[in-house]
């Protein structure tokens, strides 16, 4: 409910909420403060909100970038209370309550919400990144898409048989949902979509190898669902190497189990590292760099600062960690907005965050998936349709929902992917070589 006194309060005197990050958590906070008696500044180093769960489909030429990303200014065009700044945060002066920007401007805040997400982590081997890019941004997705498509183009004109085989070998490191989805879609792209398009190579001979250090893929799912997913990947032609951590990524390929697997394309999906928010705040952090927040998502000793999403290490009431997934970030953002509203109304009582797990979903190619809602567990084609409906539902805007649905229907029926464009950088990209 809008406070009638807000109409006579100068804008500069309103409670100032600064939100860093326009992802799921940050945007949910802003939307949750609609009509609140505050002024909001949203800072992001990119101008778009990204639907990360479908980012792998951009990387594998199934969707275009505009299908899963929307300009932040457009999303908030009706919010006169929100100022959007395109800039990068370089620090936070906690004592002075100021956010420090790369552009040189400082922003004073009354309440700060940090939702800066995470990047891929190489477990102390950052030198692997040029050879094994991760997947967190649109730039990552278009880089990986270019490398996948260029590998086939280079193989088409490669005269050396060993080098051609390496170019047609794709290694995905990490057996979580992203790794499984990438491996399955690359296999379908090679074995079905590209059929008959080349004259000197047979895309069916492509090798897709998924390497997982643990004993099974999708460890967050029940063992029987994980086993089903493994079988589905193998039916698509994916080779699985389990219990064998990668020890090196180079221009020649990936090394594991003491041997080098020559590969032209390596994709990293094995781990994440939080943004440097903990360093900005001098706050306690876990091994992944996530801020260890209080039960109400505030920074210890600083009730005016909240941290949400992949930047925060949040625990459920039973002590288990809250997963770093989009629904959790959105719930956290809404909780922060409700807490800010309560404080403005004079209620400063602690409000512990309660995570509600809606379920886990993962897709394997274009026809199979696994779903675990706790009370309902599905696998196969029905699970894939449910996965698709859920993801389309959470897209923003009718045009995007229709476009993505039509793209998936076309891929489902004809094995054709319309987003197979080699863009961004030189066509002769050497993939870190």
DSSP 282: T
5-8, long-range: CB within 8 Å, 24+ apart, which pairs? 5/37, 6/37
What lies within 8 Å, CB to CB, of 60 at 6+ separation is: 144, 145, 148, 182, 185, 186, 189, 417
* Options 127, 129, 181, 234, the catalytic residue: 181
3-state SS class at 52:
helix
Phi, then psi, of 176 in degrees rounded to 5: -80, -175
Phi, then psi, of 347 in degrees rounded to 5: -100, 100
181 in catalytic set = yes
Distance of CA 304 to the CA centre of its chain: 27
**Helix extents (H) in 323-425:** 326-344, 381-393, 398-414
CA distance 216 to 40: 45
Tokens of 295: 């039960």
Dihedral angle at the C-alpha atoms of 397, 401, 403, 409, nearest 10 degrees?
A: 180
> DSSP letters of 36-50?
-SEEEEEEESSSEEE
DSSP 192: I
Q: List the one residue out of 247, 252, 287 whose CA is nearest residue 266.
A: 252
CA distance 201 to 199: 6
CA distance 226 to 177: 11
Q: List the one residue out of 155, 158, 264 whose CA is nearest residue 203.
A: 155
Q: Which residues are catalytic?
A: 181
């Amino acid at each position: 409910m809008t406070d009638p006194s807000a109409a006579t309060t100068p804008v500069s005197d309103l409670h100032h909420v600064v939100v860093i990050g326009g992802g799921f958590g940050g945007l949910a906070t802003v939307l949750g403060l609609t009509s609140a008696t505050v002024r909001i500044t949203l800072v992001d180093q990119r101008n778009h909100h990204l639907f990360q769960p479908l980012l792998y489909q951009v990387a594998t030429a199934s969707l275009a970038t505009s299908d899963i990303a929307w300009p932040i200014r457009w999303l908030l065009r009706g919010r006169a209370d929100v100022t959007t700044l395109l800039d990068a945060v370089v620090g936070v002066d906690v004592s002075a309550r100021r956010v420090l920007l790369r552009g040189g401007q400082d922003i004073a805040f009354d309440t700060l919400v940090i939702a800066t997400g995470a990047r891929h982590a190489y477990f102390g081997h950052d030198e692997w990144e040029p050879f094994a890019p991760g997947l967190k941004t649109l730039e990552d997705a278009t880089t990986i898409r270019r490398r996948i498509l260029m590998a086939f183009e280079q193989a088409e004109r490669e005269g050396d048989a060993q080098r051609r085989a390496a170019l047609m070998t794709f290694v995905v490191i990490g057996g979580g949902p992203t790794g499984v989805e990438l491996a399955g879609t690359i296999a379908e792209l090679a074995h079905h979509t590209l059929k008959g398009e080349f004259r000197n190579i047979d895309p069916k001979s492509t090798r897709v190898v998924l390497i997982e250090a643990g004993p099974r893929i999708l460890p967050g799912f029940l063992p029987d669902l994980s086993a089903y997913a493994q079988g589905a990947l193998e039916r698509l032609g994916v080779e699985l190497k389990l219990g064998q951590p990668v020890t090196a990524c180079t221009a020649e390929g990936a090394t594991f189990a003491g041997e080098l697997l020559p590969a032209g394309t390596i994709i990293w999906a094995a781990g994440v590292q939080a943004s440097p928010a903990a360093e900005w705040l001098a706050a306690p952090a876990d091994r992944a760099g996530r801020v260890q927040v209080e039960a109400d998502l505030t920074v210890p000793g600083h009730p005016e600062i909240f941290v949400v999403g992949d930047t925060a290490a949040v625990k459920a009431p039973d002590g288990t960690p809250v997963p770093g997934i989009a629904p959790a970030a959105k719930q956290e953002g809404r909780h922060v907005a409700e807490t800010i509203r309560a404080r403005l109304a004079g209620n400063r009582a602690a409000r512990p965050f309660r995570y509600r797990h809606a379920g886990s979903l993962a897709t394997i190619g274009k026809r199979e998936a696994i779903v675990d809602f706790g009370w309902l567990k599905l696998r196969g084609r029905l699970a894939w349709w449910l996965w698709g409906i859920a993801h389309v539902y959470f897209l923003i805007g009718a045009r995007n929902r229709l476009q993505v649905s039509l793209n998936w229907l076309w891929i489902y029926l004809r094995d054709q992917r319309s987003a197979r464009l080699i863009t961004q950088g030189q066509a002769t990209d050497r993939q870190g070589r």
